[in-house]
Amino acid sequence: MVLSRLVGAEVRRKEDPRLITGSSTYVDDVRIPGMAYVAMVRSPHPHANIGTIDASAAKAMPGVIAVVTGDELAEYCGPLSGAAGEGGSGEQADYEEREEEAEESPPVWPIARGTVRWVGEAVAAVVAESRYQAEDAAEAVDVNYDVLPTVTDPEEAMKDGAPQLYSMVKNNIGATWNRDHGDIEAAFRDAPVVAKARIRSQRLSAVPMETRAVLATPDPLINGITVWTSTQAPHWNRNSIADGLGLPATRVRAVAPEVGGGFGVKIGAYQEDFIVAALAFKMQRPVKWIETRSENFLATNHGRDQWADVEIAAEADGRIRGLRMHVVQDLGGFPRGTDLAELTGRMSSGCYEIPALEFRSRSVYTNKMALGAYRGAGRPEAAFYVERAIDLLADAAGLDPVDVRRRNFIAPFDDGFTTASGEKYDTGDYAKALDRAMEVANYKGLRAEQVQAREEGRYLGIGLASYVEICGFGPFESATVRVEINGDVTIYTGISPHGQGQETSFAQIVGDGLGVPMEKIGVNHGDTLNTPQGNGTMGSRGLAVGGGAVVMALDKVRDRAQAIAAHLLEAAPEDIEITQGAFRVKGVPDRGVSLEEIASKAYSDSLPAEFGAGLEATEFFRPDDETFPFGTHIAVVEVVAETGVVKLVKFVSVDDCGVIISPGLVRGQVHGGIAQGIGQALLEEIVYDDSGELVTGTLNDYAIPRAFDFPAIETHHTETRTYLNPLGAKGIGEAATIGSTPAVANAVIDALEPWGITHLDVPCTPERVWRAIRDASAGTMAAD
Amino acid sequence: MFPNQFEYQRPDSVQAAAGLLAADPDAKLLAGGHSLIPAMKLRLASPSSLVDLGGIEGLVGIDAAGTIAIGAMTTYAMLRDSRELSRVLPMVTDAADNVGDPAVQARGTLGGALAHSDPAADFTAIFLALNGSVDVTGTNGTRTIGADDLFVDLFTTALQPDEIITSVSFPAPDSGTGMAYEKFRHPASGYAVVGVAAVVTTGSDGNVASARIAITGAPSKATRASESEQLLQGKKLNDESIAAAAAAAANGLDINGDHFASEEYRRHLVGVLTGRALTRAAAGM
Amino acid sequence: MGPHTHLPVTLSVNGSRFPLLIEPRRTLLDALRHDLALTGTKKVCDAGDCGACTVIVDGRAVYACLLLAVDCDDRDITTIEGLAKGNALDPVQEAFIQHDAFQCGFCTSGQIMSLRALLDANPEPSDDQILRAVTGNLCRCGAYLNILKAGRLAADMQRQAAADV
């Protein structure tokens, strides 16, 4: 390997200039001559049979081209293929515990046929010459509904006699995933310390700034259609849409141009991807649909939404004997997150050595929007339950939460460790991250400050969370590294970054590898026409897996360039090194050739025949297993007892994502992850009322963190390599979301210790905190 | 997210605007539009025509000499930035700085806020506590509506359909007056979950000569905390009297609840914020 | 004048004048993005809740989604496209790059315009004033800490540039 100059350095993002000037192109910025616009007619009922659809008034309105119902669309577009989700692409069944495959997955039609199952499900699509006209006409479509009984609570939905969403899904249970390890009964029998709680990981909305957006146009060049779509996984969309339309994959091109945030919810084609593509193909005219913010709240998948009954047994010194975790996952109205609870189960052991584990999960359909991946997708839930359980245990045993964690950590390992949940973690040193966080935060000092503050009637809380998570999902990722004739370098990647900045990190890697400045490197992604078969950007896999493929392709290209250089310099290939921007003979620095010269020869007929032609390579990286980043977060809050308001005073993160290539990008991911984790802990909740209406359907109701909500954050790292990919990188996209929610929640609950409060549901809104204090105070007084 | 179609009119006089309102019962005034336009996009409101007050001269400005007179189309940003106003009515500039965010402050108008009577608005309570009045013009001439008569109900005022607020007046505070507005801000909307405006004047004997306390956010319209005001009358303003007034502030109020803040919690907040507002008002005398 | 007639309006954007004939219900945001093809200003909530469409009108940061285009006749409008002078970025843009104050870029135009309006009115803002200036600008990538740093740096750069003249 050559001397690292760019890798690990603070470099400017390649993406910046186009984003800072407003000149980049997101889907809604693309315009095609003759483009028509789509607006959806959506169900106001959570569960109903569709009666007549009268579109005559709408069709007579100015500019209206067509109104299409579910049955009409079904004539030329099939149902969505199976559910999509992080790590759940189907190919990843590399663990034995997938006991019961989801009972037959119900078909989901792009536009509802017969029955609607959630408020916001599309019942018709209106195509018009302008967006204004399309929306006007959508309002004029008259749909008759025969309202059916509704079920919104997953516990209710599992009971006999509950309204059934799908005839083939008994008791609405769409998936189960269980795991048993050790003797759980023995672990709890006569355990000196037992603590338990029912813990809620509430329903969230990802709120990417850019809503979903689809533009499809007939494309004679491929005798099919091109679909611009705001997605994290263009290849998946291309394949799904081709499948839906019954076209060969060669006749569908998907393009993810600039994408304004995804956070998991833009993985996998949605109903609207199919609708817009089908309409464009059928009508042979460009068609655009831009999701409104209201639609985004209604019809883009939500995240989390689990209940967990958690029970932990331990020795008096805090050593864990056993853990029970029984999870109910709300799936909402159609399959999109059937693998979420499984991911929770796989991470249910956290950073700890747990002698006995009982994990149960049931994933249940209800009359609400579907659940799916959202930053962390199943793992934040696990970390939240485990880290709450540890604090509950510390409370019950009268121990410091730090000691309980330390006492139960898996000892440092660098060659795999198989947990109670059956996961093989790659490498880890959990105490190292905890130590670092305690040192940076001055944990002992904070505890002293807390005592002092309580004497003054101020309620500080200190919360920590030691998390481990699962990243770097396969099954593979791809990259092409191409040296152009003039020595410039183009990288094509199968991932599809949308804010993460991998154009920068890949350019750093290849720049170092070939001795080329970053300005001469272009990175292409998101277009199925020119990138090798890929998966996308999700599950914190961009660098760990996508970067792995880049390194493999780079190595091939460098070997070839080295061989050509050796030939030109009449030296042995192994004597060639890259220094000062050229391929030189070791020890003879004035004998060298530039990459440009090598490329010009590679694309000529001047080399001996056995060299062939060209200077590029395409490689596929198939990781043997997933990576497991970890870390410790510490949050400090102050609770105003009078109102229940929680102020976040300080936040320290220590994340170990393996080898860091781009420190600035990692910092950005950590900040963003913490912001969203704080959101879950303190602010955010998607609320449906019992009748299935969405209550929090605008940014006026659904609070996400603002500039003032953000505390002073100190980000730090430890670095534990993984052996699973060539870079040693584990992934950082979701880690900070996973660590921050339990840290903040534990801090709030710690602040409430004077009232004897040991658990509180998130989000810890002012009212919830105030109510807990009031109820506890009343209890205390009654006991007195 | 597009409004239904409407006609747009931009009259150059208040009389002409009133005439347009009188001629079309489905017409609405545009005076900033930060509540109306979103409602129209969600098609919760579909006026046949919008009468934009932005083209009328003389509706913008602040005169703080003597009785304070503020043009109805004066924006929050102008209130916020007015030095003369901050000297006589510091509560007004302070509250204007805490309405929404700078972009809302740049467009939202005082007259618009009062005419809209949003239950979570800030300035309805401030207007009530400062005992303001509005001058209105309709096709039948002009009249003045006092603070206690303007707000009728949720989004409903004493204005006739053809009447337009042209200016807002506040009496100059007597010496010995302190005032403060306390707001519990909704984390998403920035509106008042509960807001309490308190204006208290003490006489030369140090006792409260007058107290006006107005609550927004919790009730369906900005409402005075009459019982608290009476409790303070003639008393020294101290921790004890403030606590008593705070405890009574929610009495008799019909209070809203939603998923973010229940009726019970808002009732509690009314008391807490009343205490805080009175404490700050006392400190500012 | 019949109902729902298109009305003439002249938008003065980034120093150029654009005469248009548009429906009254068209917002400034749609007029900019659609009629003038100035797509740097983004539509995120379309309801005044997020700040992404912030532009500067007559010196103040406002939401283009809540302004009717017909209400903007002859007002002085600046959008993100009007900030850089040739290849020279505005100090706020330069500071955003230096401090990594964005990731996906979708809220960025609005953040920058809010800070531009702040610095025009107040060349020496406190941290609190910077945060207030962007309190209506949501960023789901969570770049707030770096946006604050960029705001500080932009103010420094602007003062430095003024001192150098």
Q: State the Cα–Cα distance between residues B64 and C73, nearest whole angstrom.
A: 32
Residue C6 touches chain B, beta carbons under 8 Å: no
Instruction: Say if the Cβ atoms of C25 and B3 lie within 8 Å.
Output: yes
Are B200 and B237 a contacting pair, CB within 8 Å?
A: yes
pLDDT band (50, 70, 90) for residue A283: very high
* Final residue belonging to a domain, choices B170, B188, B206: B170
Tokens representing A126 are 């209106």
**If you average pLDDT over residues B105-128, what whole number do you get?**
96
> In this model, does residue A782 exceed pLDDT 70?
no
Q: Which domains does chain C possess?
A: 7-81 (3.10.20.30), 91-164 (1.10.150.120)
- The verdict on A486 and A463 lying in the same domain is no
| A157 lies in some domain | no
Helices (H), A268-358: 271-283, 293-299, 340-346
d(CA A498, CA A254): 15
Predicted local confidence at residue A185, as pLDDT: 98
Query: Is there a contact between A767 and B262 if contact means CB atoms under 8 Å apart?
Result: yes
| Residue A193 forms part of a structural domain | no
> Looking at the complex, does the CB of residue C79 fall below 8 Å from at least one CB of chain A?
yes
* Strand stretches in A333-457, DSSP E: 357-365, 417-418, 424-425
**Residues A38, A125 contacting (CB under 8 angstroms):** yes
Q: Which residues constitute the domain of residue A68?
A: 31-148+209-261+266-299
Residue C44 at interface with chain B, using a CB cutoff of 8 Å: no
Residue at which a domain ends, from B170, B187, B213:
B170
CB A541 within 8 A of CB A734: no
The tens digit of pLDDT for each residue in B167-208 reads: 999 999 999 999 999 999 999 999 999 999 999 999 999 999
Q: What are the tokens at A584?
A: 């030189």
d(CA A154, CA A158): 6
Helix, strand, or coil here: A377?
coil
Residue C35 is encoded by which pair of tokens?
């009629």
Residue B44 near chain A (CB below 8 Å): no
Q: Convert the pLDDT of each residue in B152-170 to its tens digit.
A: 999 999 999 999 999 999 9
Q: What angle in degrees, to the nearest 10, is found between the helix axes of A401-408 and A430-441?
A: 160
Same domain? For B187 and B162 the reply is no
Q: Is the pLDDT of residue A391 over 50?
A: yes
> Does residue A207 carry a pLDDT above 60?
yes
The per-residue pLDDT for B1 is 82
**Same domain assignment for residues B107 and B136:** yes
Distance CA C49, CA A774 (A): 33
Q: What's the rounded mean pLDDT across residues A407-433?
A: 98
Structure confidence by residue, pLDDT tens digits, A90-148: 333 333 333 344 456 888 999 999 999 999 999 999 999 999 999 999 999 999 999 99
Q: How large is the average pLDDT for residues A776-783?
A: 70
Q: Is A215 helix (H, G, I), strand (E, B) or coil?
A: strand
| Inter-chain contacts counted by CB atoms under 8 A, chains B and C | 88
| Percent of chain A with pLDDT strictly greater than 90 | 92
CB pairs under 8 A between A and C: 160
Decide: B128 and B151 in contact? Cβ < 8 Å: yes
**Contact between residue B163 and residue B137 where contact means Cβ atoms under 8 Å apart:** yes
Which residue among B1, B188, B265 places its CB closest to the CB of A702?
Answer: B188
B187/A136 Cβ within 8 A = no
CB–CB contact A135 B2 (8 Å): yes
Q: Which residues in chain B are contacts of C24 at CB distance < 8 A?
A: 5-8, 50
Which helix (H) or strand (E) is B164 found in, with range? strand B164-170
Q: Domain of A721: which CATH number?
A: 3.30.365.10
Question: B271 in a domain, yes or no?
Answer: yes
Residue A45's nearest CA partner among A370, A371, A295, A367 is: A367
Evaluate whether residue A11 is within a structural domain: no
- If one counts the domains in chain A, the total is 3
Show which of A601, A621, A641 is a domain's final residue.
A621
List pLDDT tens digits, range A505-518: 999 999 999 999 99
- DSSP string over A132-170: HHHHHHHHH-EEEEEE------HHHHTSTTSPPS-TTSG
B3 within a domain of the structure (yes/no): no
Do B186 and B158 belong together in one domain? Answer: no
Q: Alpha-carbon distance A726 to A745, whole Å?
A: 37
Would you say the ipTM is above 0.90? yes
Two tokens at C80? 């993100």
CA distance B68 to A519: 62
- Residue ending a domain, among A598, A621, A644, is A621
- Nearest-CA distance from A616 to chain B in Å? 48
For the record, the structure tokens of A301 come out as 């998948």
> What CATH number is attached to the domain comprising B212?
3.30.390.50
What mean pLDDT do residues A61-84 have? 88
Decide if pLDDT at A166 tops 60: yes
Asked whether residue A109 is domain-assigned, the answer is yes
pLDDT above 90 covers a percentage of chain B that reads 98
Are A417 and A538 contained in the same domain?
no
Residues B184 and B233 in one domain: yes
C-alpha–C-alpha distance, residues A771 and A765, integer Å: 10
Q: Which chain C residues are Cβ-neighbours of A24 within 8 angstroms?
A: 105
Q: Is the pLDDT of residue B132 over 50?
A: yes
Query: What is the 3-class SS of A549-607, one letter each residue?
Result: HHHHHHHHHHHHHHHHHHHHHCCCHHHEEEECCEEEECCEEEEEEEHHHHHHHHCCCCC
Examine the domain organization and report whether B208 and B145 are in the same domain.
no
Q: What is the CA radius of gyration of chain B?
A: 19
Interface test with C, best of A10, A11, A15, A20 (most C CBs within 10 A): A20
What's the gap in Å between the CA of B176 and the closest CA on chain C? 31
Q: Is the peptide bond before A208 cis (omega within 30 degrees of 0)?
A: no
pLDDT attached to residue B206: 93
Strand partners, A583: A578, A593
Q: Decide if B258 is inside a domain.
A: yes
Q: Do both A213 and A335 map to the same domain?
A: no
Domain interval for residue B251: 177-283
Read off the pLDDT of each residue in A341-363 and give the average, rounded to a whole number.
Answer: 98
Within a domain: A180 = no
Q: Do B265 and A703 touch (CB under 8 A)?
A: no
A277 neighbors A246 (Cβ within 8 angstroms): no
Q: CA A724 → CA A424, A451, A544, A621, distances in Å?
A: 12, 45, 9, 11
Query: Residue B271: in which H helix or E strand, if any?
Result: helix B263-283
Does one domain contain both A602 and A703? no
pLDDT for A8 beyond 90: no
Nearest to A767 among B4, B42, B265 (CB): B265
Taking the CA atoms of residue B103, residue B107, residue B110 and residue B116 in that order, the dihedral angle to the nearest 10 degrees is -100
Domain co-membership, A462 together with A501: no
* Same domain, yes or no: A377 and A447: yes
> Which among B24, B132, B149 is positioned nearest to B79, based on CA atoms?
B132
| Residue that is written with structure tokens 């053809």 in the block | B162
Task: Establish if A165 belongs to a structural domain.
Answer: no
Nearest residue to A148 (alpha-carbon basis) of A176, A175, A174, A112 = A112
Domain end marker among B129, B155, B170: B170
Closest residue in C to A711 (Cα) is C145
- Asked if residue A232 is part of any domain, the answer here is yes
On whether residue B116 sits in a domain, the answer given is yes
The token pair that represents B153 in the structure block: 């109900």
Do A58 and A127 belong together in one domain?
yes
Per-residue pLDDT band at A252 (split at 50, 70, 90): very high
| CATH number of B151's domain | 3.30.465.10
Closest by CA to B58, choosing from B174, B137, B156, B163, is: B137
Q: State the CATH number of the domain containing residue A233.
A: 3.90.1170.50
Place of tokens 């809302």: B104
Contact A87, A628 (CB under 8 A): no
Q: Are residues A455 and A489 in the same domain?
A: no
Tens of pLDDT, residue by residue over A604-622, are: 999 999 999 999 999 999 9
Judge if A494 and A466 occupy the same domain. Answer: no
Element (H, E) at A649: strand A645-656
Tell me which of A41, A133, A643 to substitute to probe the interface with B (most B C-beta atoms closer than 10 Å).
A643
Contact at CB, C118 and B189, closer than 8 angstroms: no
pLDDT band at A589, cuts 50/70/90? confident
- Residue A530 falls inside a structural domain: yes
Is A769 found in the same domain as A710?
yes
Average pLDDT of span A246-254? 97
Assigned domain for B44 exists: no
Looking at the fold, whether A41 and A83 belong to one and the same domain comes out as yes
A91 against A160, higher pLDDT: A160
Sort residue C128 into left (φ over 0), alpha (ψ -120 to 50) or beta: alpha
Asked if the bond preceding A475 is cis, omega within 30° of 0, the reply is yes
Number of domains in chain B: 2
Mutation to test the A interface, candidates C14, C90, C144, most A Cβ within 10 Å: C144
* pLDDT tens digit at each of 165 positions of chain C: 445 589 999 999 999 999 999 999 999 999 999 999 999 999 999 999 999 999 999 999 999 999 999 999 989 999 999 999 988 999 999 999 999 999 999 999 999 999 999 999 999 999 999 999 999 999 999 999 999 999 999 999 999 998 887
C52 and chain A in contact, CB less than 8 A: yes
Is the domain of B183 the same as that of B150? no
**What are A699-710's pLDDT values in tens digits?**
999 999 999 988
Q: Is the pTM of this model over 0.90?
A: yes
A314 lies in the same domain as A287 = no
Q: How many angstroms separate the CA atoms of A157 and A169, rounded?
A: 11
Domain boundary among A621, A646, A680: A621
Longest dimension (CA), chain C: 57
At what angle are helices A663-678 and A735-751 packed, to 10 degrees?
40
Neighbours of chain C (3+ CB pairs under 8 A): A, B
Q: Which one of A132, A642, A703 has the shortest CB-CB distance to B272?
A: A642
Reply yes or no on whether the pLDDT at A784 is more than 70. Answer: no
Q: Is residue B47 part of a domain?
A: no
